[in-house]
Amino acid sequence: MTVLTADLYDERGDELQSVPLQFQTIGGRARFSGPIRTVTCFEDNALLKSILSTPGDGAVLVIDGGGSLKSALMGDLIADLAVANGWSGAIINGAVRDRVAIGALDLGVKALGSNPRKSSKTGSGTADTVVEFAGVTFTPGRTVYCDEDGILVER
């Protein structure tokens, strides 16, 4: 991503939604963008692991974990899968673990925080549906833009 979110918002204004939650930049790539893919999963990462195991083609996986910080939805092994399969990044409305290892990867990762506890693995959740959190709608196929200032989403 070459355009900064502040400049992009100045240029496009209300064509974009600005995410008010203060996500932490965790991945080794602070600036990333791409078409949105989505998964909704609560304290269970089996579905998101299966999605990140497929070709990402530069997409960003938006993961709605309900804002839970009780267990991590992504660790270094799942982040490695995302890199190997060509994903641009992930936005996690929840927690990660293995922060140092994820920070060394060429992957954009934004999350609410971290917790060393692993999540369950039942495979519950939904994929590629419209997701909403923090008053922002994430529609599969629309573009999301992330940098050190925050997250912008096409309406």
Q: Say if residue 14 carries a ligand binding annotation.
A: no
Mean pLDDT of the residues in the chain? 97
Alpha-carbon distances, residue 152 vs 124, 143, 155 (angstroms): 28, 9, 9
How long a stretch of residues is the chain? 155
The whole-angstrom separation of Cα 89 and Cα 118 is: 20
pLDDT in tens, 137-153: 999 999 999 999 999 99
Average pLDDT value for residue range 102-114: 98
Q: What is the mean pLDDT of residues 28-55?
A: 98
Q: What pLDDT does 68 receive?
A: 98
Is the pLDDT assigned to residue 136 strictly greater than 60? yes
User: Is 51 among the annotated ligand-binding positions?
Assistant: no
**% of the chain residues with pLDDT over 90:** 98
Contacts of 14 (CB under 8 A, 6+ apart): 155
pLDDT band at 1 (very low <50, low <70, confident <90, very high): low
What pLDDT shows up at residue 3?
79
Distance CA 44, CA 86 (A): 23
Burial class (CB in 10 A: 0-12, 13-18, 19+), 121: exposed
The pLDDT of 116-143, averaged and rounded, is 97
Question: Does 102 count as an annotated binding residue?
Answer: no
pTM for the whole thing?
Answer: 0.97
The number of beta carbons lying within 10 Å of the beta carbon of residue 130 is 12
The per-residue pLDDT for 16 is 98
Is the pLDDT at 2 greater than 90? The verdict is no
Domains along the chain with CATH numbers: 5-154 (3.50.30.40)
**26 annotated to bind ligand:** no
Tell whether 77 is in a known binding site.
yes
> Running DSSP on this structure, what letter comes out for residue 66?
T
Flag whether 78 is marked binding: yes
Indicate whether 56 pLDDT > 80. yes
Q: Model confidence over 73-100: pLDDT tens digits?
A: 999 999 999 999 999 999 999 999 999 9
